[in-house]
Amino acid sequence: MNDKLKRLKEILAEIDDLGRAQAVLSWDQQTYMPPGGAEDRGNQIGTLARLEHERWVSDEMGNLLESLSADQFDPDSDEAALLRVTRRNYEKHTRVPARWVEEFSNATTLGQEAWVKARHASDFAQFKPFLEHNLELRREYSTFFAPYEHVYDAQLDDFEPGMKTAEVQEIFKQLRAEQVELVRAIAARPQVEFGFLYQHYPEQAQWDFGVEVITKFGYDWNRGRQDRSAHPFTTGFGQNDVRITTRLDANYPGTMLFGTMHECGHALYDLGHSPAHNRTPLSSAASMALHESQSRMWENLVGRSLPFWKHFYPRMQQIFSSQLGNVSLETFYKAINRVQPSYIRVEADEATYNLHIMLRMELEIALLEGSLQVKDLPEAWNARMQEYLGVTPPNDAKGVLQDIHWSGGMMGYFPTYALGNLVSVQLWEQINRQIPDLSEQIERGEFGALLGWLRENIHAVGAKYEPQVLVKKVTGSKIAPEPYLRYLKAKYGEIYGL
């Protein structure tokens, strides 16, 4: 191996280690850390973030990248991809001062703890000063990348490399109009029965059933674990330690079940990266939209499908016999796929989910542009919920405080959920062309061929290609709304007789 390339990989391995150490501290904060530890934890994560940043912007890193060129290698080789991705990351890091990195890390650690308390109390005022600080830092972050086409571009680029705000807005413009029309058409039809889902379901039995499901999906418990948290998430401490969390509602099993399947989809992606990419920037997702395509695929295209429940519903009836013993498969399937505008994004049905995302993206843009002040955010949130979904949250916990993302400073992340929905169906169509008996396999509880296809075409590829390049390479087109709209209309047309 080229000595300079070898040295570059050594530095990248150290950077990866520092990032993984931060992930351990963050995971502990959201699962087991006592509330009083927030300030100390913020200092610890801040120090590690600063050290990681300093490694990225070091003179040695700059000199190595100056002397190495992707043109020296085959364009499709791992080496060429590694140099492209590393150079991109280096150029981004050199624009951001180390003091900002440390301050942002500390602020978001404190912000997450404040969000937990504010959400529990359903009191936005408790969180307001922390969000104002985070917003101030995110605005400053955009200035590091001026000139730009839009202030939101720098935020989005952190999660969707190469994509622009205008590009996403154009996709969402077509999506919004047709999804609103679909939701209205469904609302005019007789609604499905679902009350049986809202009764007591013992939490331990829920947990055990969720574990049973994702074990069949292929989640490797020798390289992962599941814990409880206020907001479900997935985190990786290395290629062989990828953990998930879930939350439970004793009076509604969907919270745990679909949240667990969702996070399992994320984990399967991270566990499937190529060992050859370990401890390098290639050992990560192509983008968060690709990541979300995996979680939404396992949660919705698999987990809310009729073939899936033909296999698993008898088992669920056995576990929850008093709740579901007299409920038919057809009734249950329709209930878990009912379309009903709701307050909570993570529990939204597929027909309304993207509207939650568009709402959040618009609010983020308004905050960054300065046309919306943080103090007015709850009112603006409720107004858009009423406009888009016809519901007004009864309190802050079910409204503006329901998501953890802004407490962690993750502006630009929300659009990836809707983009992930689109990508999931584009991939799904391709998968079904190449595995024509996929539905029959799922009905038998067999997921090996599906996971194998994803491993080969998405997971093992890692971050070698930008998201639009990878999606086109695998499906033949860039991210587009048409396949997802076809899927929604076919599925709900059957359920609601449209």
Tell me which long-range contacts 133-140 makes (C-beta under 8 A, separation of at least 24).
Answer: 133/107, 134/104, 134/107, 134/108, 134/406, 134/407, 134/409, 135/367, 135/368, 135/374, 135/411, 137/100, 137/103, 137/104, 137/107, 137/409, 138/368, 138/409, 138/411, 139/368, 140/100
Would the pLDDT of 72 be above 90? Answer: no
Sign of torsion over alpha carbons 38, 41, 45, 47? positive
- Record the pTM: 0.90
Q: Would you place residue 2 in the very low, low, confident or very high pLDDT band (cuts 50, 70, 90)?
A: confident
Kindly report the CATH number that applies to the domain delimited by 165-496.
Answer: 1.10.1370.30
DSSP secondary structure of 270-304: HHTS-GGGTTSTTSS-S-HHHHHHHHHIIIIIITT
How large is the angle between the packed helices 165-187 and 415-434, nearest 10 degrees? 80
Tell me if 420 sits within 8 A of 288, measured CB to CB.
yes
The predicted structure's pLDDT at residue 42? 86
CA angle 439, 443, 449 (to 5 degrees): 60
Q: What distance in Å separates the CA atoms of residue 159 and residue 291, rounded to the nearest whole number?
A: 10
Q: Which of 102, 160, 263, 292 is catalytic?
A: 263
Helix (H) or strand (E) segment spanning residue 254? helix 254-271
Task: Report residue 409: phi and psi, to 5°.
Answer: 70, 20
Pairing type for strands 241-246 and 226-228 reads parallel
Q: Across the chain, what does the average pLDDT equal?
A: 95
d(CA 146, CA 148): 5
The tens digit of pLDDT for each residue in 341-384 reads 999 998 899 999 999 999 999 999 999 999 999 999 999 999 99
Q: Where are the beta strands (DSSP E) in 181-323?
A: 226-228, 234-238, 241-246
pLDDT at 393 over 70: yes
Give the pLDDT band of residue 105 (cuts 50, 70, 90): confident
pLDDT in tens, 38-59: 889 989 998 999 999 999 999 9
Q: What is the pLDDT of residues 420-429, one digit of tens each?
A: 999 999 999 9
Residues in the chain, overall count: 498
Residue 1 has pLDDT above 60, yes or no: no
How many whole angstroms separate alpha carbon 203 and alpha carbon 430? Answer: 37
- In angstroms, the CA 275 to CA 482 distance is 35
For 173, phi and psi rounded to 5 degrees?
-60, -45
Lowest mean pLDDT, pick from 100-114, 126-140, 269-283, 289-303: 100-114
Q: Is 113 noted as a catalytic residue in this protein? A: no
Instruction: In whole angstroms, give the CA distance from residue 135 to residue 375.
Output: 12
Residues 161-218: pLDDT tens digits?
989 999 999 999 989 889 989 998 998 999 899 999 999 999 999 999 999 999 999 9
Strands 234-238 and 226-228: unpaired
Query: DSSP string of 66-85?
Result: HH--GGGS-TTSHHHHHHHH
- The CATH 1.10.1370.30 domain(s) of the chain lie at 165-496
Strand-pair category, 241-246 with 234-238? antiparallel
CB-based contacts of 461, cutoff 8 Å, min separation 6:
274, 286, 470
The closest alpha carbon to 85, from 463, 352, 396, 381, belongs to: 463
d(CA 246, CA 419): 23
Is residue 403 a contact partner of residue 381, using CB atoms and an 8 Å limit? no
